[in-house]
Amino acid sequence: MCLITFAYNHHPGYRLVLAANRDEFLDRPTAPLGYHYPGETILAGRDLRSGGTWLGMDGGGRLAAITNYRDPSRVVNPAPSRGEIILDYLRSGLMAEAFLEKFSARASRYSGFNLLLADCENLVHYSNVSDRSTRLTSGVYGLSNHLLDTPWPKVERAKMLLTRTLAANGSIDREEIFRLLADRKCPEDQLLPDTGVGPEWEQLLGPICIHSQTYGTRSSLLLTITDTGQAELCERSYRHDNGFQTVDDRCFHIDFQRG
């Protein structure tokens, strides 16, 4: 993922409301959200080039999501696929913090990343840049290609829009959240971060939703988990070759109480 905003133990009746965009080069082969691993309960999209994923969950209520840390000096080459970390966690059988205790010793082998891990008890953020894990408390958060809640314009705007949307609706308005994720308001140049990729790329990457002929927002995800363990994960996929168009919607429901 490249942008994640989420409300954790913040909206009545919901343990988690998470909205996210995946930005990628348009020619990178991808499989949409689904059960791509026979014999396993892992629900995820799939990167067909490296084999990993950007967000996944299993039938037991565990969730993992990853974002790139945008800094050319943090690139490790060669490095293992960061998308495999999600699968490693979901296959480990471990709680989030127990997994990180074992994993952190090899985290430096990867290019810079942020990781969100959830289990039936906790939601944890970890970055191999800071080499710190944080058990999150209730609130609204934002994560892009820097550390958690770094006040980039797109992060602050996404958090504001999610907070406003949840405050205006007792139930979850799926379409309103997908509209949030399609927001293309460009920040003023002086507010953009300097991550070492140059002004042109900083401008392109500035909005919540990115559109160009070679790189852009490939899909949006909305995950809701109720206090009683009912989860819904929806993905909306886009194309960019003739403007910005929705090409597919898919939703999956999981009852964690039943497994």
Burial 181-205 (b: 16+ CB within 10 A, else e): bbeeeebeeeebbebeeeeeebebb
Residue 256 scores a pLDDT above 90: no
pLDDT digits (tens, 9 = 90+) for 103-128: 999 999 999 999 999 999 999 999 99
Q: Pick from 132, 124, 123, 187: which is nearest to 160 by CA?
A: 187
d(CA 39, CA 255): 18
Q: What is the pLDDT of residue 91?
A: 97
Q: Which CATH class is domain 3-255?
A: alpha beta
pTM: predicted TM-score of the whole model, two decimal places = 0.96
Q: Pick from 26, 62, 29, 24: which is nearest to 43 by CA?
A: 62
Q: For the chain, what are the domain ranges?
A: 3-255
Strand 215-226: give its sheet, edge to edge.
139-143, 3-8, 14-25, 215-226, 230-239, 245-255
> Tokens for 161?
């829009």
pLDDT digits (tens, 9 = 90+) for 206-247: 999 999 999 999 999 999 999 999 999 999 999 998 889 999
